[in-house]
Structures are given as C-alpha cells and as structure tokens.
Amino acid sequence: MKILVMNGPNLNLLGEREPNIYGGDTLKSINSEIQEEAMAMGYEVTFFQSNSEGGLIDRLHEARLDCAGVILNAGAYTHYSYAIRDAISAIKIPVVEVHLSNVNSRDEFRKNSVIAPVCCGSIAGFGKYSYILGLYALNNKLGGNDE
Ligand code: DQA
C-alpha cells in the first residue's frame, strides 16, 4: 500500500523558515524520517510539495488512483482554500491533516481550518512528530496493526 505525504506552500523552506516556530529540520530530513517509519509499517511512501493550490489539487486527484491515504500539511491554504477542501471531499481515501506548529495558539486566522471537516482527523503542535503521529493515525484508519 502506498501513502502520499504532501506539503503545501512555504514548507520547502523548512529549516530556514522561522525555525523558532517550525523547527530546524529540513523537509528532506523530515521526509526521510517519515519514510523510515512508514517502511517499518510496510508502506511505500511518496512525497510531494507544491507552493501552488492547483499543484496540490492535481496531486490529490492522482492520489485517489494510486494511494491508500494521505498525510497533508496544506500550510496557509488550510485556513482558506475551499478548492483543496473540495478536492479532499472528492477523493474517497482518508486524509490526515497535520501541522508542525500549534495553530490554535497562534494568530486568530490560523485557528480556523476549512479542510478539517473533510479530513479524518487533525494533528498539530508536535513539530516533525506531527507527521509521524499522522502516519500512525492513518495506519490505524487503514486497518494496519499498531506494533
Ligand atoms: C503550518 C501552519 C500554517 O498556519 C502555516 O501557514 C504554515 C505551516 C504548520 O505546519 O504549522 O505554512 O501548516
């Protein structure tokens, strides 16, 4: 089974972007940690990052054909992209929303996620471990065991 780990705008700059908020790890190093965990669970993982809404939507559409589920950090699109929300609704595979930072303790606009209602759950505030926790949550949704 294949899982898609998808990151939205500005997350390509992890490591140099506001490290006090998002941590010092690069996206590449976070992705390799996810890959290791996922492989141990028996999943194949594919990674995708885009700064554009259309790119993210196109990849979500493709995922419905070749992936069992998605771990998604939609970045700022989380807070206002009805188009990404509709794409998540349109594909029938489970999508777990993740955020590195605790979006509920920051600016007012970050407290609202327009994608949360169509995701199977949300994890925020644990830095790179949000992705790992997302992986465990997705594994559980997909019926994998928790060992
Ligand atoms: C983020 C939180 C968003 O509010 C922000 O726009 C991001 C990153 C996070 O991972 O904490 O780009 O999704």
Closest Cα to atom 9 of ligand 1: 99
pLDDT of residue 139: 97
Closest Cα to atom 6 of ligand 1: 76
Q: Tokens for 67?
A: 């992936």
Q: What is the dihedral of CA 107, 108, 114, 115, to 10 degrees?
A: 40
Distance from residue 52's CA to the centre of ligand 1 (Å): 15
* pLDDT tens for each residue of 25-54: 999 999 999 999 999 999 999 999 999 999
What angle, 0 to 180 degrees and rounded to 10, lies between the N-to-C axes of helices 82-90 and 53-66?
Answer: 10
* pLDDT tens for each residue of 70-104: 999 999 999 999 999 999 999 999 999 999 999 99
CA 107 vs. chain centroid, Å, equals 20
121 close to 97: Cβ distance less than 8 angstroms: yes
Distance from residue 100's CA to the centre of ligand 1 (Å): 7
Q: Is 99 a catalytic residue?
A: yes
pTM: 0.97
pLDDT of residue 136: 98
Residue 52 identity (one-letter amino acid): S
- The arrangement of secondary structure in 2-141, i.e. its CATH architecture, is 3-Layer(aba) Sandwich (3.40)
SS3 for 126? coil
